[in-house]
Amino acid sequence: MLIMLISKIRYIHALGVRCSSSHYVTTPIFYVNAAPHIGHLYSAVIADAHCRYQRLRYPDRNVRLCTGTDEHGTKIQQAAAGHKIPVAQYCDEISARYRDVFKAAGIANDDFIRTTEKRHKEAVAHFWQTLQSRGHIYSAAYSGWYCVSDETFLTDSQLRLDEESGTRFSLESGHPVEWTEETNYMFRLSQFQDDVRHWVKQEARIRPAKFEKILLDTLSEPLPDVSVSRPSNRVHWAIPVPNDDSQTVYVWLDALINYLSSVGYPNEKYLKQWPPAQQVIGKDILKFHGIYWPAFLLAAGLEPPQQLYVHSHWTVDGQKMSKSKHNVVDPVQAAEQYTMEGLRYFLLREGVAHSDGNFSHVKALRILNSELADTLGNLLSRACAKSLNPQQIYPAPHAEESSALLKELDAAKRMQESLLQMAARCEQHYECNHFHLVADTVIATLHATNNFFECAKPWELKAGASAANAPRLETIIAMTMDALRLCGIVLQPMMPQLAGRLLDKLRVPGEQRQWKYLASHVASNSRPLDAQSALLFQRIVEQQDNKPAPEKEKEKTESKRSKAKKQKELKKNKQASSSST
């Protein structure tokens, strides 16, 4: 009872005063032991789409997105040694690749933090000293199985023994572990079990809810204290423990503190943005963010994050991505085929946070061609076609023609209903990071609009046929463009550049791209369209190399046959012409 009370007081004390206009969002910081792949990009794209929506919907909110790289520890030391490059240079190179990929993918991060930066090292030293002065750190002889790849000690129940080789592996990641005996500093995690459980159980703290259950299961067993340092002679590429050079700070404690260093901790200004409104993480790092992190923060007297948003993983053609399987999807290469906007759309459209998603070329091609090229792109091209729209305008509708169309055509009514519901539905989906449902809703509206366009048959009213048809033709184009304008506004967080080009083409002024403009309907005056091309998304044509082998063989034989046929004909013609001369 007393423990519960102390735990509650500690928790309430840690809440502090939160600045409600601040909305601080983070991605995990990425290990620099390998180049970025689509799984890494996925964490960043979720956080970016979330922030872009926040900026559109709540323009007064101070939204801040931080990402960066995690550069210390044995794993990085070994990777640099493997490449025979000095470790600092190795970190610079891989960190720059993350920065470049995120830039190319339109990730609008306000900060990119590296754990090798001075500002971060200072924050770690201050945080350590705070934990120490509050009595949460002690020194002890420690032994256990350490997994370098996961950068963590594992208990027996987290291991699998391979009887043949006698090697133990991490059950979760499948990587080998090594027996380690050393003197370490330990953090009194066991004392924060009730505080952490209380934090986890708060409404919408961990999303999707499935991951809350996983954390509560872990928390139903007593938590062991955790080692928070390693001897410097073993892990030298790390931040030294303040006042004890023989030890370096455990990489996960170091890494988690990046979220604080980015907002200026320990300078008090960090309080303006603390705590994070949402921290996006992959399911593999749930324990570190859902147990260690709130415990470290509560121990330091700081408020833990408002929400952890946990996503599942991408497999490739049903297999886990790994270097050894040669199936790692490089976002830069993928973007050459799908475009970066297409790749963003595919990840957000096809990924669902609670279950693993499968990245398949066939699926990507099908979705991008049918949704971005045929449904969205084609509609814009048709509405902007010179044959229907010779003046190249976004016309104003004629009120009596709109009413007539809505009365006469079921398709017009269905489009209108779909448009009326779209904003509220998409808002609800964006609030929960359900990007796939946003895409579903927008695509359904675009299908309804394509259907309206088809049923209204604007080509039968083409200018020139009869001047009396002009008001109806303009109204059909105006209603179609208005639907496109609204879909463009909604799609901005998912595909900022492509949606931007759509809104540019329709000459929608910058300030009218905010979420609140979804409530306003057609423009009252005609306006000229932008001169840029109306081609939004080029249909992707299957490349030769991606075709299945039997298909390629068939084509080869066919082309050989037709070559032989042509040569035969050529010979015949030559003979014929020589005999005629």
Asked if 123 interacts with ligand MSP (CB under 6 A), we say no
Asked if 344 interacts with ligand MSP (CB under 6 A), we say no
Contact assessment for residue 207 and residue 200, using Cβ atoms and an 8 Å cutoff:
no
Asked if 281 interacts with ligand MSP (CB under 6 A), we say yes
Residue choice 29, 490, 491, 518 for contact with ligand MSP (CB under 6 A): 29
Taking alpha carbons only, the member of 537, 154, 242 closest to residue 374 is 537
Residues of this chain, 485-524, that bind ligand MSP according to CB under 6 A: none
CA distance 112 to 69: 8
Residue choice 85, 148, 321, 404 for contact with ligand MSP (CB under 6 A): 321
CA distance 183 to 241: 13
Contact assessment for residue 310 and residue 353, using Cβ atoms and an 8 Å cutoff:
yes
Asked if 65 interacts with ligand MSP (CB under 6 A), we say no
With respect to ligand MSP, which residue has the nearer C-beta, 323 or 566?
323
Asked if 341 interacts with ligand MSP (CB under 6 A), we say no
CA distance 229 to 249: 4
Asked if 287 interacts with ligand MSP (CB under 6 A), we say no
Supply 61's token pair.
């909110």
DSSP 192: G
Taking alpha carbons only, the member of 459, 540, 426 closest to residue 56 is 426
State in angstroms the smallest separation of the CB of 308 from ligand MSP: 11
Residue choice 7, 22, 43, 262 for contact with ligand MSP (CB under 6 A): 43
Residues of this chain, 68-87, that bind ligand MSP according to CB under 6 A: 70
Asked if 406 interacts with ligand MSP (CB under 6 A), we say no
**Site stretch for ligand MSP (CB under 6 A), options 34-42, 46-54, 209-217, 468-476:** 34-42
With respect to ligand MSP, which residue has the nearer C-beta, 228 or 255?
255
**Site stretch for ligand MSP (CB under 6 A), options 230-238, 313-321, 425-433, 569-577:** 313-321
Residue choice 117, 284, 330, 440 for contact with ligand MSP (CB under 6 A): 284
Residue choice 314, 345, 394, 430 for contact with ligand MSP (CB under 6 A): 314
With respect to ligand MSP, which residue has the nearer C-beta, 291 or 486?
291
Asked if 255 interacts with ligand MSP (CB under 6 A), we say yes
DSSP secondary structure of 120-187: HHHHHHHHHHHHHHTT-EEEEEEEEEEETTTTEEE-GGGEEE-TTT--EEETTT--B-EEEEEEEEEE
CA distance 393 to 174: 60
Contact assessment for residue 333 and residue 232, using Cβ atoms and an 8 Å cutoff:
no
Asked if 334 interacts with ligand MSP (CB under 6 A), we say no
Question: How many Cα atoms sit within 13 Å of 472 on the Cβ side?
Answer: 17
Asked if 97 interacts with ligand MSP (CB under 6 A), we say no
Residue choice 11, 24, 31, 537 for contact with ligand MSP (CB under 6 A): 31
Supply 553's token pair.
């063989």
DSSP secondary structure of 466-502: -GGGHHHHHHHHHHHHHHHHHHHHHHTTT-HHHHHHH
Asked if 256 interacts with ligand MSP (CB under 6 A), we say yes
With respect to ligand MSP, which residue has the nearer C-beta, 51 or 529?
51
Give the position of tokens 């049923």. 455
Taking alpha carbons only, the member of 427, 411, 429 closest to residue 486 is 427
Residue choice 282, 342, 395, 471 for contact with ligand MSP (CB under 6 A): 282
Residue choice 7, 11, 22, 39 for contact with ligand MSP (CB under 6 A): 39
Query: Which residue of this chain has its Cβ atom nearest to ligand MSP in the complex?
Result: 282
CA distance 421 to 483: 12
CA distance 110 to 121: 20
Count of residues in contact with ligand MSP, rule CB under 6 A: 19
With respect to ligand MSP, which residue has the nearer C-beta, 332 or 463?
332
Taking alpha carbons only, the member of 190, 191, 187, 185 closest to residue 142 is 185
Bridge partners for 24 per DSSP: 64
Give the position of tokens 């049903």. 318
State in angstroms the smallest separation of the CB of 170 from ligand MSP: 13
**Site stretch for ligand MSP (CB under 6 A), options 35-43, 189-197, 379-387, 426-434:** 35-43
Residue choice 7, 11, 24, 28 for contact with ligand MSP (CB under 6 A): 28
State in angstroms the smallest separation of the CB of 347 from ligand MSP: 9
Describe the strand order of the beta sheet including 314-316 as a list of residue ranges: 319-320, 314-316, 357-359
State in angstroms the smallest separation of the CB of 259 from ligand MSP: 7
State in angstroms the smallest separation of the CB of 330 from ligand MSP: 13
Residues that bind ligand MSP (CB under 6 A): 28-31, 39-40, 42-43, 70, 255-256, 258, 281-282, 284-285, 313-314, 321
